[in-house]
Chains A and B, each alone.
Chain A
Amino acid sequence: MSDIADRVKKIVVDHLGVDEEKVVEGASFIDDLGADSLDTVELVMAFEEEFGIEIPDDAAETIQTFGDAVKFISENAANA
């Protein structure tokens, strides 16, 4: 679990250029971390790449926060 969280956090920090401390459980990519709608699409692509999973569009729409991402990946990544 913590390994997934660390890997997700690193992707978020790299892509959005935010401080690591701001990437907390309830942090919204758009409202708190300065992402726009295109950034969130790219974040989801980066999660897919990192964890070797496919995140369908309807599922991607439910991933609004850092916590949402960690939860989804934990439940769906076979190799996590």
Chain B
Amino acid sequence: MKRVVITGVGALTPLACGVEETWSRLLNGASGAAAVRYFDARHLPCKIACEIPFGPTAEGGFTPEDWMPSRERRKLDRFIVYAMVAADQAIADAGWTPTDEAAQERTGVMIGSGIGGIETIAEGAITLKERGPRRISPFFIPAALINLCSGQVSIKYGFKGPNHAVVTACSTGAHAIGDAARIIRAGEAEVMVAGGAEAPICELSIAGFSACKALSTRFNEAPDKASRPYDRDRDGFVMGEGAGVVVLEEYDHARARGAKIYAEVLGYGMSGDAYHITSPAPDGDGGYRSMRAALKSAGLDASDIDYVNAHGTSTPMGDEIELQAVARMLGNHAASVTMSSTKSSTGHLLGAAGAIEAIFCALALRDQIAPPTLNLDNPSVETPIDLAPHQPRQRRIDVALSNSFGFGGTNASLVLGRAP
């Protein structure tokens, strides 16, 4: 089987626009959470979110006009803009912009989203109701469709290989990277641009997730304390937004052109809970089987794992169920492993989460440091696993595992290794 490596990374996150800026802020313990700015959220039970930091590009902020003129952005929901910003970064980082037809046909795109253009759809429904069908824009449908992230990136860069999109709620980003790696392993493409994007911070989706009792509601006055995975006072996740995109490449292809290599995608596993639409199975068996499948495809043993980037969304039930599943998998190796939830810093980017967390794993492997779990003051359960409270851990990391679990009981695990 062919080997797959990561040769480019791009991210727009609640911490910063740009991978290195996001990474340094993550290691410094920054939080992306604040009161919702996009609309008046005072009437909602959850009034906080992790929004993209608008500001000068040179300072790690997001200046939309620097990436795309407003007349183009007008035709896209924000989640597609975010996907294109992250893809632009990743493609530039990889230095892969082929102009010959054969190379373009061997390059594909697989960027997904959990929800897609929910804000565009919500506004379209209001327009329809108040002003009638003739006021619906011809760009309404292509602005909201999830696979238009992959479509827009392929159109911009002329990537004519497999063009696909994953939609698996909060597992989307991990599934997209895993599936794209498989396409390369199977020899169907040499390069894949893969990841996830999400722009869920609007009144309709906060109302919807609130109704599911999924969001934190007790920290509206202290937003940076709200995302606190494994802590006894956690009460739900904090919604985030943004995109993460990687360039995956067949190893020999990358080596032949002298590409910089961040990490290798060693394994990928999937499973279904077959239990409940929003709650994880209490025994954690779905997550456990997903991790086991990823290890099996990597040809590794649980004792090979050094770092786990947890799904860890800061919900009362989910965190402990995942922790138990990881402990079960690690067995007596548990005390040697560091596991952190970077959602304590970024919030939960839903369909983009697995993609930015795979990037964090790649950087953890590169820099030999595990990012911290913020706000973990009083763990709700005892565990031999080091949860990296408050501070990053400088340590040996040869193999990293990233978990993503989504509504509907869909689980994905990626295993990454140091650059070969």
Contacts and interface: CB of A to CB of B under 8 A. Distances in A.
User: Does A associate with B in a complex?
Assistant: yes
Interface of A: 14-17, 38, 41-42, 45, 48, 54
A17 B69 contact: yes
A42 B71 contact: no
14 contacts: A15-B71, A16-B71, A17-B69, A17-B71, A17-B72, A38-B138, A38-B139, A41-B138, A42-B138, A42-B139, A45-B134, A45-B135, A45-B138, A48-B134
Nearest to B142: A38
Contacts of B72: 17
A38 B11 CA distance: 30
Interface in B102-156: 134-135, 137-139, 142
Contacts of A41: 138
A49 B266 CA distance: 55
A45 B139 CA distance: 12
A72 to B, nearest CB: 17
B334 to A, nearest CB: 55
A21 B281 CA distance: 64
Contacts of A45: 134-135, 137-138
B71 A14 contact: yes
A17 B70 CA distance: 9
Contacts of B142: 38
Interface string B207-250: 00000000000000000000000000000000000000000000
A16 B69 CA distance: 11
B180 to A, nearest CB: 29
Interface in B29-72: 69, 71-72
Nearest to A40: B138
Contacts of B71: 14-17
